[in-house]
C-alpha cells in the first residue's frame, strides 16, 4: 500500500476506536483522552470506517478571498509618494493623499503597500549605518546651567534642543550633522559640517536663529565641547539661557534624539550617493523644507510643523518658507 495515514489521522483514529469500544460514551472518551468535546465531535463528523482518508485534515484555505478594492490610480499614487518619501508610513502617506483628493483609509494604504511589496514593485532601500553614537564628558560651563524645575514649556520657542550626530557615508569620510529642534512645534533646522567645533556650532546658531520662525527663550544641549567656548559666548551675548544636560542622559533630550533617527531613515539612507559637502548641504536644506512643511508628524496629529504654527494662538508667529 503506497499511502499511509498521517500522525494526526492515526491519533484521531485511536480516539474513535476508544469511543466505539467503550459504549459510545463521548463524555467518558473526552475525559479519558484529555480532549475537548468540540475536538472530539469535529473528528467524529469526519469519521468513515470505510474510507480512512476522511481522517486526514482538509485544506483550511478559505473558499473566497478578499479582492483588492483600490483602483490602479490609487495604487500608482501610493507608489509614487512612497518612492518620493521611502521611509514614510501609511499614516503620513494617507495625509498626503488627502491633499491630492484621494480619500483612502490608513489600513487600505497599508494593504496597498503590502501588495506592492508582494509584487516586488516596491523595493525598500537598504539600511546602512551612517550615524554613530558618541559619548561626551560633562565640563564646567560658565553660562550654561541645569534646566530649572520652574521652567515651563508651553509655546513654540520655550525650549529648543540641539545635538549633533557623526556620519560615516563612506570609508575615510566623516561628517557631522547638527540639529536644532523646537520641543513644542517640532520645527527643525539642520545642517551638516565637516567637523564639530565650538566655532562651527556658533556659526550654526546664527543660521538656526535666522531660519526659526519664532523667538527663542532657551536652548538645551548635552555636555559636548562643540556647545562650549565660542558657542556659549554667543548665547551669553544674546542673553539666551543655555541648559546643559546631566551626563549619560540622552532621554532628557529625546526630541532631538528621535529626530536623528528620522533624518537617518528618511534622508541619509535614501539620498543618492553624492557625498560632496556642497551637494549634501543643498539636499539637506531641501529636506529641511520637506520636514517642516510637507511631512506629517504623528505627535502633531499628523499636521506639519508649519500647519501647527499657523493654527497656534499667537498672532506674532510668521511662517517663513525655505527655498
Most confident of the ranges 46-50, 165-169, 252-256, 291-295: 291-295
What average pLDDT does the segment 58-62 reach? Answer: 67
If one compares 150 and 318, the residue with the highest pLDDT of the two is 150
How far apart are the C-alpha atoms of 48 and 51, rounded to whole Å? 5
Cell of 245: 544636560
What average pLDDT does the segment 206-230 reach? Answer: 83
How far apart are the C-alpha atoms of 92 and 297, rounded to whole Å? 7
Per-residue confidence (pLDDT) for residue 319, from 0 to 100: 45
Statement: residue 131 has pLDDT above 70: no
Helices (H) and strands (E) in the chain, counts: 11, 6
If one compares 313 and 254, the residue with the highest pLDDT of the two is 254
What average pLDDT does the segment 215-227 reach? Answer: 82
Q: Is 134 helix (H, G, I), strand (E, B) or coil?
A: coil
How far apart are the C-alpha atoms of 281 and 302, rounded to whole Å? 27
Most confident of the ranges 14-18, 95-99, 267-271: 95-99
Report yes or no: 191 and 204 within 8 Å, Cβ to Cβ.
yes
CB-based contacts of 98, cutoff 8 Å, min separation 6: none
How far apart are the C-alpha atoms of 157 and 147, rounded to whole Å? 15
Query: What Å distances lie between residue 110 and 75, 104, 107, 130, 269, CA to CA?
Result: 11, 10, 5, 28, 22
What average pLDDT does the segment 220-234 reach? Answer: 79
Burial 74-99 (b: 16+ CB within 10 A, else e): bbebbeebbeebbbbebebbbbbbee
Statement: residue 57 has pLDDT above 70: no
Statement: residue 238 has pLDDT above 90: no
Cell of 310: 499657523
How far apart are the C-alpha atoms of 130 and 178, rounded to whole Å? 14
What average pLDDT does the segment 216-225 reach? Answer: 82
Q: Is 181 helix (H, G, I), strand (E, B) or coil?
A: strand
Per-residue confidence (pLDDT) for residue 139, from 0 to 100: 53
- The per-residue pLDDT of the chain, averaged, comes to 80
Could you list the beta-strand ranges (E) of 184-322.
188-193, 219-221, 242-244
Task: Tell me the percentage of the chain whose pLDDT exceeds 70.
Answer: 83
Comparing CA positions, the residue from 146, 98, 128 lying closest to residue 242 is 146
Amino acid at each position: 500500500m503506497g499511502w499511509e495515514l498521517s500522525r494526526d489521522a492515526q491519533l484521531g483514529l485511536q480516539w474513535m476506536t476508544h469511543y466505539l469500544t467503550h459504549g459510545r460514551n463521548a463524555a467518558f472518551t473526552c475525559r479519558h483522552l484529555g480532549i475537548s468535546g468540540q475536538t472530539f465531535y469535529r473528528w467524529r463528523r469526519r469519521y468513515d470506517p470505510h474510507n480512512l482518508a476522511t481522517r486526514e485534515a482538509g485544506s483550511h484555505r478559505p473558499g473566497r478571498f478578499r479582492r483588492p478594492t483600490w483602483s490602479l490610480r490609487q495604487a500608482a499614487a501610493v507608489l509614487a509618494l512612497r518612492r518620493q518619501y521611502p521611509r514614510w508610513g501609511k499614516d503620513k502617506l494617507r495625509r498626503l493623499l488627502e491633499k491630492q483628493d484621494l480619500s483612502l483609509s490608513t489600513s487600505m494604504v497599508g494593504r496597498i503597500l503590502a501588495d506592492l511589496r508582494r509584487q516586488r514593485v516596491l523595493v525598500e532601500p537598504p539600511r546602512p549605518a551612517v550615524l554613530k553614537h558618541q559619548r561626551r564628558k560633562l565640563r564646567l560651563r560658565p553660562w550654561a546651567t541645569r534646566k530649572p524645575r520652574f521652567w515651563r514649556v508651553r509655546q513654540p520657542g520655550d525650549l529648543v534642543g540641539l545635538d549633533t550626530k557623526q556620519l560615516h557615508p563612506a570609508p575615510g569620510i566623516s561628517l557631522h550633522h547638527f540639529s536644532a529642534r523646537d520641543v513644542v512645534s517640532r520645527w527643525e533646522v539642520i545642517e551638516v559640517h565637516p567637523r564639530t567645533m565650538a566655532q562651527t556650532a556658533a556659526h550654526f546658531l546664527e543660521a538656526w536663529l535666522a531660519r526659526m520662525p519664532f523667538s527663542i527663550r532657551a536652548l538645551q544641549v548635552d555636555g559636548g565641547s562643540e556647545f562650549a567656548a565660542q558657542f556659549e559666548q554667543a548665547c551669553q551675548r544674546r542673553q539666551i539661557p543655555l541648559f546643559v544636560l546631566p551626563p549619560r542622559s540622552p532621554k532628557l533630550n529625546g526630541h532631538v534624539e528621535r529626530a536623528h533617527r528620522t533624518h537617518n531613515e528618511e534622508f541619509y539612507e535614501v539620498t543618492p550617493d553624492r557625498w560632496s559637502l556642497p551637494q549634501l548641504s543643498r539636499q539637506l536644506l531641501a529636506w529641511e523644507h520637506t520636514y517642516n512643511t510637507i511631512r506629517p508628524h504623528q505627535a502633531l496629529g499628523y499636521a506639519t510643523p508649519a500647519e501647527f504654527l499657523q493654527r497656534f494662538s499667537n498672532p506674532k508667529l510668521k511662517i517663513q518658507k525655505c527655498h
